[in-house]
Amino acid sequence: MLIAIPGVLNPAEVSELRRALDAADWQDGRKTAGSQSYDVKRNHQLDPDSRTALELGQFILDRLAGNALFMSAALPHRILPPMFNRYAQEETFGIHVDNAIRSVPLTGERLRTDLSMTLFLSEPEEYDGGELVIEDQFGAQQVKLPAGHMVLYPSTSLHQVTPVTRGARVSSFFWLQSMVRSDERRTILFDLDQSIQSLSARNGANSPEAVRLTGIYHNLIRMWAEI
């Protein structure tokens, strides 16, 4: 399931993050590349252990914790601290797949990457190129969202960032381990949850139909969750 999460950050929050990021020191992005992606990665990243990265990452996680659409789609169990990258003239990240297991930088805790996230911090008109291209069952999907919006997609997907030909593309990227490993099951649960929300808005959360479907939803979580 590929889904856009709008308004993770509002314009004022995006401006606050960009001021900090524009003043930060950036390093060669290949420092965090795996063996397969090293040769196709050309960008710059913030040191994930830096104070700026840790503070801004926590800011993003705090906003996501209150985002109902994100929680419904991701069912997060553990989330890696957000990282930050910048693509300028002719920088790109060729087609690759994310590592299946990643470690939290400061603790060494390992988690399975079920879902990948990109939170856009540049407006589309600030740069040319730089589309996130994600391969799914419907073909190649090009994603270029407004600043403050985020895309969530399975980490099993082949994906790439096309070359930036003008301006700079700044974003945050990170991964999570979901309570539900299967993308197909997460999709079923998401569709069911969204249907419950719509039904509750029309008929009330305590209507017999909403209560019955809510019970089915939670029973499926009990069957499929890994915690």
Whole-angstrom Cα distance, residue 39 to residue 219?
45
Report in angstroms the alpha-carbon separations of 60 from 25, 76, 111, 207.
20, 14, 19, 35
Residue 169 annotated as binding site: yes
User: Which tokens go with 204?
Assistant: 């009330």
**Which of 219, 198, 152 has the alpha carbon at shortest distance from 8?**
152
- CA gyration radius for the chain? 18
Whole-angstrom Cα distance, residue 10 to residue 124?
16
Residue 44 annotated as binding site: no
User: Which tokens go with 129?
Assistant: 């190129």
Residue 149 annotated as binding site: no
Contact predicate 95/64, CB 8 Å: no
Residue 25 annotated as binding site: no
**Residues whose CB is less than 8 angstroms from the CB of residue 131 and which lie 6 or more positions away in sequence, other chains included:** 142, 143, 144, 161, 162
Q: Which residues sit in the known binding site?
A: 96, 98, 159, 169
**Which residue numbers belong to the known binding site for 2-oxoglutarate?**
169
Output the known binding site for Fe cation. Answer: 96, 98, 159
